[in-house]
């Protein structure tokens, strides 16, 4: 399973996204995923990618949470059980992995 995290430099959450992905893979009893990071540098680049705000977490090329692409550098807000947040919870990522397998 390949995970790609799309982010831009102004995003405070992209590093933690990778840590949560690793924890979620363990929780889902999956092998450690191959994680790559792709810095999105311009609005034009964001528009050409499946970028739904930073961080966008792709599992085998698909947005793990079905986000709508946004054609600009922007932070992403995830709905979580605790309210809107800059990252999905480990539980939400675990469910996304299990839904993907």
Question: E strands along 1-101, which residues?
Answer: 2-7, 34-39, 56-59, 62-63, 78-80, 83-85
Q: How many CB atoms lie within 10 A of CB 91?
A: 14
Q: What is the pLDDT of residues 1-41, one digit of tens each?
A: 899 999 999 999 999 999 999 999 999 999 989 999 999 99
Is residue 62 within 8 Å of 28, Cβ to Cβ? Answer: no
Exposure of 99 by Cβ count < 10 A (0-12 exposed, 13-18 middle, 19+ buried)? Answer: exposed
pLDDT of residue 2: 93
Q: How does pLDDT run across 53-83, given as a tens digit for each residue?
A: 999 999 999 999 999 999 999 999 999 999 9
**Helix and strand counts by DSSP (H, E) for the chain:** 3, 6
- Domain 2-100 matching CATH 1.10.287: the answer reads no
Query: What is the CA 81 to chain-centroid distance, rounded?
Result: 17
Bridge partners of 57, per DSSP, are 5
* pLDDT value, residue 100: 85
Confidence band, pLDDT 50/70/90 cuts, at residue 89 = very high
């Amino acid at each position: 399973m390949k995970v790609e995290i799309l982010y831009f430099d102004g995003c405070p959450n992209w590093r933690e996204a990778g840590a949560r992905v690793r924890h979620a893979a363990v929780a889902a009893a999956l092998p450690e995923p191959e994680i790559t990071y792709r810095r999105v540098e311009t609005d034009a680049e964001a528009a050409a990618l499946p970028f739904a705000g930073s961080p966008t977490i792709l599992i085998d090329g698909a947005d793990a949470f079905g986000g709508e692409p946004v054609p600009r550098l922007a932070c992403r807000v995830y709905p979580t059980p605790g309210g809107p947040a800059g990252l999905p919870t480990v539980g939400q990522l675990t469910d996304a992995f299990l839904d993907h397998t």
